[in-house]
Amino acid sequence: MKGKKVLEIGCGRGDLSILAAKLGADVLAVDIDFDILKFFRLEVIPKNKFEGSITLLQQDILDKEKIEKIKEFSPKVVIMTLGPSSKAVEILQFVKENLPSVKYIILTPGNYDSINDLPEEWRGKKTPQEWTEEKIEELIGDFEKVTEVGRGFLPFPPYSSKYVSYIITICSEKLIIDKASKILSGEEVEKLNKVLQYFSQDYHKIKQIGDKIVDVIRKAPNVVEVYGIGYPFYGDVDIKKRILNTLEKLEKGEISKEEFFRRMIPDFDVLMVVDWDVEGPWSVDVNTDSRLREILVKYVYSAYRNWDEINKELQDVGLADLFEDRNKAVEVFFNENKCMLDILFVPAHIWKEIVYFVKKEDVEYFKFIRDILFTIKPNPKNSEDIPTKFLLNYLLNILDEKQKLNIEELHKEIIDRNPYKDLIELWDIVKKNIEDKFRFILRYGIKNKLIEKTNEGKFVLTHKGKKYLAEIFNEREEIL
């Protein structure tokens, strides 16, 4: 729940809203009853402490003319308690049709052990006798899955050992195609369907292709290291969530159709560190990225025979011609059923000195910093491992700026600063991987006496850590 926007429908005196806020959620609590909301505001909220926030709204959730406030809130999670006045079926359908931001619906049984224990007269003629997946699909249309959870997994009252609720996950191919049909032409919807079919194949099969690509690129002349970046290297995630999220941006007019398909077509990305550079001396500025692309072309043509062989191997793996125009990536995928490869080229001397560029603005100089923060895994067992050194210095800089943070505050700061924050928030597994990565770096910093933990559970820089970071920044200024 932490950091999630949660809408509670029919909040009553606010038990569930309070609990969600205590778990770190930002809650919009809606109820049609003025008096119960007054009680919630005056009697309940002052007696509770919570990390998140609660906003109260008196409104009939089914009033379409007043839905804009709720749409602006853009909730990801809906909590709904079934009771004697519940219009469960109507509300579920309304949420599905009018709140596209919602990804999860939590149904709770109120003061009953299970939704299926509710009295017959409370369910309404249209409500099913049993809340099976088939019945829920019949009521609200297609969905990803229904998860049945007991008291141990979903901390909502009542506190019965038999307590059962349901979490409905809304993100399916049908939902995407239905939404796309309102925005895209028939031909464009067919193209999107082809993208969905690609990502519906087994993740491990795609990851295996990615690993083969990395192995092939390692054969190139003067290569120091190759890292897989982007999907599938950041984990086994549900790409449908990203597609739906990007489709919503298209619907809002934030991106064009061309940009939508450019983002959605599958491709592979690698970062290649090479001990080769014909440029120099280098200056650090916002044009570094384009200069690196130019050097990549020169590097490839300097060893054309080698890269010709590499290109053949990559095509055997299933990639498009490496020398194909990148602007044709969308066309190549739909016409040839092949993905393109993006290569981020980094000269070894720049890679070695990236460890000094750990300030917020440095990502503007070196775009590949985003990939060190997002996908690339550190290897502290190797004392010369650049990602480890970079991530350590990055962490020290955060603690230097914030003075002291507990582990939750530190994780929040790391996620908030990440250039891929929007992607991270789509998938819990990616968020966990990044938190684990920095937890590992944190232990590494403590082991080397650069960081220490106070009695109040806050992490701070040691005197040694401050001195070390000052040396890092001095070196950075000298390079600049």
Count each helix (H run) and each strand (E run) in the chain, helices first: 21, 12
- Give dist(CA 386, CA 225) in Å, integer: 11
Long-range contacts: 414-419, Cβ < 8 Å, 24+?
Answer: 414/438, 417/360, 418/370, 418/373, 418/374, 419/363, 419/370, 419/373, 419/374
Please indicate whether residue 220 or residue 282 has the higher confidence score (pLDDT).
Answer: 220
State how far the alpha carbon of 282 is from the alpha carbons of 37, 291, 292, in Å. 63, 10, 11
Closest CA to 440 of 377, 358, 353, 354: 377
Q: What is the CA radius of gyration of the chain?
A: 26
Domain stops at, among 104, 136, 170 = 170
**Total structural domains within the chain:** 2
pLDDT at 340: 95
Q: At 1, list the tokens.
A: 């729940």
Count CB-CB contacts under 10 A for residue 155: 13
Domain stops at, among 170, 187, 220 = 170
Phi, psi dihedrals of residue 334, rounded to the nearest 5°: -75, -30
Phi, psi dihedrals of residue 274, rounded to the nearest 5°: -130, 135
Please indicate whether residue 142 or residue 392 has the higher confidence score (pLDDT).
Answer: 392
Q: Decide if 46 is inside a domain.
A: yes
Of 86-95, 197-206, 257-266, 447-456, least confident by mean pLDDT is: 86-95
Cβ-contact 267, 329 below 8 angstroms: yes
138 pLDDT more than 90:
no
**Greatest mean pLDDT range, 75-84, 311-320, 425-434:** 311-320
Exposure b/e, 373-386, CB count within 10 A at least 16 = b: bbbbebebeeeebb
- Give dist(CA 252, CA 254) in Å, integer: 6
Closest CA to 445 of 398, 401, 478, 479: 398
158 prior amide bond cis, ω within 30: yes
137 pLDDT more than 80:
no
Instruction: Tell me the percentage of the chain whose pLDDT exceeds 90.
Output: 53
202 pLDDT more than 70:
yes
- Give dist(CA 203, CA 184) in Å, integer: 27
Instruction: Tell me the percentage of the chain whose pLDDT exceeds 70.
Output: 85
- Give dist(CA 292, CA 304) in Å, integer: 18
Helix pair 257-264, 239-251: axis angle to 10 deg: 170
- Give dist(CA 178, CA 176) in Å, integer: 5
Q: Decide if 259 is inside a domain.
A: no
- What is the bridge-based pairing of β-strands 164-169 and 104-108? antiparallel
Tallying the residues shown for the chain, one arrives at: 480
Which residue type is seen at 37? L
- Give dist(CA 333, CA 309) in Å, integer: 22
Cβ-contact 90, 62 below 8 angstroms: yes
User: What's the whole-number mean pLDDT along residues 49-54?
Assistant: 90
Domain stops at, among 114, 143, 170 = 170
469 pLDDT more than 70:
yes
Cβ-contact 203, 145 below 8 angstroms: no
Indicate which CATH number applies to the domain containing 75.
3.40.50.150
State how far the alpha carbon of 101 is from the alpha carbons of 77, 105, 137, in Å. 9, 11, 19
DSSP per-residue codes, 399-416: HHHHS-B-HHHHHHHHHH
Q: Where are the alpha helices (DSSP H) in 218-368?
A: 239-251, 257-264, 288-302, 304-317, 329-336, 348-353
Please indicate whether residue 118 or residue 307 has the higher confidence score (pLDDT).
Answer: 307
User: What's the whole-number mean pLDDT along residues 327-355?
Assistant: 94
- Across the chain, mean pLDDT equals 85
pTM of the shown model: 0.69
Categorize the per-residue pLDDT at 95 as very low, low, confident or very high, splitting at 50, 70 and 90: confident
pLDDT digits (tens, 9 = 90+) for 412-437: 999 999 999 988 887 878 888 899 99
Categorize the per-residue pLDDT at 161 as very low, low, confident or very high, splitting at 50, 70 and 90: very low
List of residues 6+ apart from 117 with CB closer than 8 A: 109
User: What's the whole-number mean pLDDT along residues 148-172?
Assistant: 53
Please indicate whether residue 48 or residue 218 has the higher confidence score (pLDDT).
Answer: 218
Q: Decide if 211 is inside a domain.
A: no
Q: Which domain holds residue 31?
A: 5-170
Q: Decide if 206 is inside a domain.
A: no
- Give dist(CA 396, CA 308) in Å, integer: 44
Count CB-CB contacts under 10 A for residue 5: 17
User: What's the whole-number mean pLDDT along residues 372-400?
Assistant: 92
Categorize the per-residue pLDDT at 76 as very low, low, confident or very high, splitting at 50, 70 and 90: confident
DSSP per-residue codes, 252-278: TTSS-HHHHHHHHS--EEEEEEES---
User: What's the whole-number mean pLDDT along residues 285-298?
Assistant: 89
User: What's the whole-number mean pLDDT along residues 140-147?
Assistant: 56
Q: Decide if 391 is inside a domain.
A: yes
Q: Decide if 176 is inside a domain.
A: no
pLDDT at 477: 94
Cβ-contact 244, 179 below 8 angstroms: yes
Q: Decide if 124 is inside a domain.
A: yes
Q: Where are the alpha helices (DSSP H) in 114-231?
A: 120-123, 133-140, 173-181, 186-199, 203-217
Cβ-contact 198, 266 below 8 angstroms: yes
- Give dist(CA 340, CA 314) in Å, integer: 10
84 pLDDT more than 60:
no
pLDDT at 170: 65
**Greatest mean pLDDT range, 120-129, 198-207, 388-397:** 388-397
pLDDT at 125: 38
Q: Decide if 112 is inside a domain.
A: yes
pLDDT digits (tens, 9 = 90+) for 214-258: 999 999 999 999 999 999 998 888 788 889 889 989 998 999 999
- Give dist(CA 273, CA 267) in Å, integer: 20
